[in-house]
Structure 1
């Protein structure tokens, strides 16, 4: 058997296109993995719409009531006794913190009022109800340094919250019936 040593040398090349394909596959994997690791701050509830309101930009604790009356702190289910303990610990640690109630529009009125009463008992006047603006537009992020390139839902700091009722001459505001129904202890 004769071996031909006179064959021309083939130049070895690194193909870039398959290498770029592999790099993009790895990048896609890491992007999808990062999205799965994002912490959800509250359960998904169907919030009611409001005509007026302004975003509250301060540290807050999110309390949610779903359509079945189950209460949550952030995204962890809590019974009413646990809720009271958590709220007291939060107010002790952060006296200026805001308590935000995310109540599904399908939740029973009784459940919402009970949780709201508990929030007002612990938080006083630092309680807000989360709503969605009736225009359907999500407010702009006041902090342009935070990036949200994927168009993810806004953080709770960017949700519209109702303004506190204005003081009227009669001592109460006719647009807030809960002022007469719920005692502010």
Structure 2
């Protein structure tokens, strides 16, 4: 009677997928971490101006967009005026950057500016397209 100590009958013949899964997982982590994270926004057709000053970019800007239909957008999605007021109160130290479509009605812009001024916010920026800047 001979015993083979190095051959385990419970092991199956085949390819071990563990190293392949490890490599795929590491590639997934690499691509997720190397992706540039951009704040989501909406497509706004900005009005052009002849004389404007370039604002110094800040990381803590609160961007509020108004689309061509007059709807508000902030923090990655559409918001009501009441939701925008809550967002403004949550970010008391942030500059408020308005991006208003040139076809947007004026009333939604005036409503939110009035609420921003009521909250004693002074750091307000209105983004426009420059004279030489295209869409």
Q: TM-score range by the shorter chain?
A: 0.5 to 0.7
CA RMSD of aligned residues (A): 2.4
Structure 1: gaps (5+ residues):
1-29, 138-185
SS of the residue 1:49 aligns to? coil
Alignment coverage as a number of residue pairs:
102
Match of 1:161 in 2: none
Instruction: Give TM-score scaled by structure 1 length.
Output: 0.49
SS of the residue 1:72 aligns to? strand
Match of 2:97 in 1: 100
Q: Which runs of 4+ in 1 moved over 4 A?
A: none
Does residue 1:70 correspond to 2:75, yes or no? no
Query: Structure 1's 42 and 123: CA in aligned 2 closer, same or farther, altered over 3 A?
Result: farther
Query: Structure 1's 123 and 57: CA in aligned 2 closer, same or farther, altered over 3 A?
Result: farther
Any residues of structure 2 matched to 1:6-155 within 5 Å, and which?
Answer: 34=35, 38-51=37-50, 52-58=52-58, 59-91=60-92, 94=93, 97-122=94-119, 124-136=121-133
Which protein has greater RCO, CA pairs closer than 8 Å, 6+ apart? 2
Structure 2: gaps (5+ residues):
1-30
Contact kept? 1:41, 1:62, Cα under 8 Å: no
